[in-house]
Chains A and B, each alone.
Chain A
Amino acid sequence: NAGVTQTPKFRVLKTGQSMTLLCAQDMNHEYMYWYRQDPGMGLRLIHYSVGEGTTAKGEVPDGYNVSRLKKQNFLLGLESAAPSQTSVYFCASSYARVADTQYFGPGTRLTVL
Chain B
Amino acid sequence: AQSVTQLGSHVSVSEGALVLLRCNYSSSVPPYLFWYVQYPNQGLQLLLKYTTGATLVKGINGFEAEFKKSETSFHLTKPSAHMSDAAEYFCAVRAWSGGYQKVTFGTGTKLQVIP
- Chain A interface (Cβ within 8 Å of chain B)? 4, 31, 33, 35, 40-45, 48, 50, 56, 90, 92, 98-99, 101-107
Contacts and interface: CB of A to CB of B under 8 A. Distances in A.
B103 A105 contact: no
A90 to B, nearest CB: 6
Contacts of B46: 101-103
Nearest to A35: B105
Contacts of B42: 106-107
A85 to B, nearest CB: 19
27 contacts: A33-B103, A40-B9, A40-B108, A41-B107, A42-B90, A42-B105, A42-B106, A42-B107, A44-B105, A50-B100, A56-B100, A90-B43, A92-B44, A98-B32, A98-B94, A98-B101, A99-B51, A99-B94, A101-B49, A103-B46, A104-B36, A104-B44, A104-B45, A106-B42, A106-B43, A107-B42, A107-B43
Interface residues of B, number: 24
Contacts of B94: 98-99
Interface in B58-101: 90, 94-96, 100-101
A44 B105 CA distance: 7
Contacts of B103: 33, 45, 102
Chain A facing B: main interface SS: strand
B44 A98 contact: no
Given A90-B43, A98-B101, A99-B51, A43 B90 contact: yes
Nearest to B31: A98
A33 B106 CA distance: 17
